[in-house]
Amino acid sequence: MIVADEILDGRDAVLAAAGRHPFVRHSLPCHEPARGWRRAGTVCWLLPVEQGPIGGVIGASETAIDLLGAVAAAGEVGAGRWVHLPRTDPTPIGPAVAGYEDWDFLWTTSAPPAQPGEEQVVRLTEADHPALTALIDEAFPTSTARPGNPQVRGWYGIRDGDRLVACGADRTRGEIGFLAGLTVAPRHRGRGLGAAITAGMTRTMLDRYDLVALGVYPSNVAAIRLYRRLGYTGTFPLTSVRFA
């Protein structure tokens, strides 16, 4: 049995209980039903999705672990599924946890400073998928943002002549824009293309959304420094947990 102060029925109820936190706005797809639980100001939610993270928790770390542990013990989280926690050590959940990783959710509500080369950012099409695959294989082989991934809504890139040298994916799933898979060809690094593709995509997406976000590993200090310079000052440290 899941002990909670309140059972949350539907996306709007979860958003309201979480104070419409930017990460929760990102995590809840606009047209997917959601359900959740609130305990002592901490909110846990689950989605009926077949791909990607199944849910998350926001609030005090200790209560988040207890609440997620109860949800998992009730059989609500399937094997191999990921759930997002506020930054914490998830080992108290027990042997149900098969692995975890720390990352930071960053966001901005304002347009970035203009960057050299930003005007070269263009929207890509399906015809660019082979070039995208080649670039990602070379420069970011561990990326899950790839052509054909149904979670990607669109691609942007920068070309040097007829060669694609930088790219990024629009991986928006909720009501805020989300950048993913930001990649620069190894031989073209150090030329400001990372700043250009990030700034160009951010500016474009702010035309559609009031807030744009991205994810970054805390060990990637250079990327974090760049994103801060481009206005990504909002931060939510996370630990994503994979269940056995």
Q: Are 196 and 184 in contact (CB under 8 A)?
A: no
pLDDT at 30: 86
What is the per-residue DSSP string for 62-103? HHHHHHHHHHHHTT-S-TT-EEEEESS--GGG-TTEEEEEEE
Percent of the chain predicted with pLDDT > 90: 86
What is the per-residue DSSP string for the chain? ----SEEEESHHHHHHHTTT-HHHHHHS-TTS--EEEEETTEEEEE---SSS--EEEES-HHHHHHHHHHHHHTT-S-TT-EEEEESS--GGG-TTEEEEEEEEEEEESSPPPP-TTGGG-EE--GGGHHHHHHHHHHH-TT-S--TT-TT--EEEEEEETTEEEEEEEE---SSSEEEEEEEE-GGGTTSSHHHHHHHHHHHHHHTT-S-EEEEE-TT-HHHHHHHHHTT--EEEEEEEEEE-
pLDDT at 160: 96
| Whether the predicted pLDDT of 94 surpasses 90 | no
195-226 tens-digit pLDDT? 999 999 999 999 999 999 999 999 999 999 99
pLDDT at 226: 98
Q: Are 29 and 175 in contact (CB under 8 A)?
A: no
pLDDT at 121: 98
pLDDT band, very low/low/confident/very high, at 53 (cuts 50, 70, 90): confident
pLDDT band, very low/low/confident/very high, at 107 (cuts 50, 70, 90): very high
Q: Are 154 and 123 in contact (CB under 8 A)?
A: yes
Average pLDDT for 1-29: 94
CA distance 2 to 225: 41
pLDDT at 118: 97
Mean confidence (pLDDT) of the chain = 95
| Whether the predicted pLDDT of 97 surpasses 80 | yes
Asked which of 9-13, 77-81, 144-148 is least confident by mean pLDDT, the reply is 77-81
pLDDT at 1: 75
CA 166 from chain center: how many Å?
Answer: 20
Average pLDDT for 24-45: 93
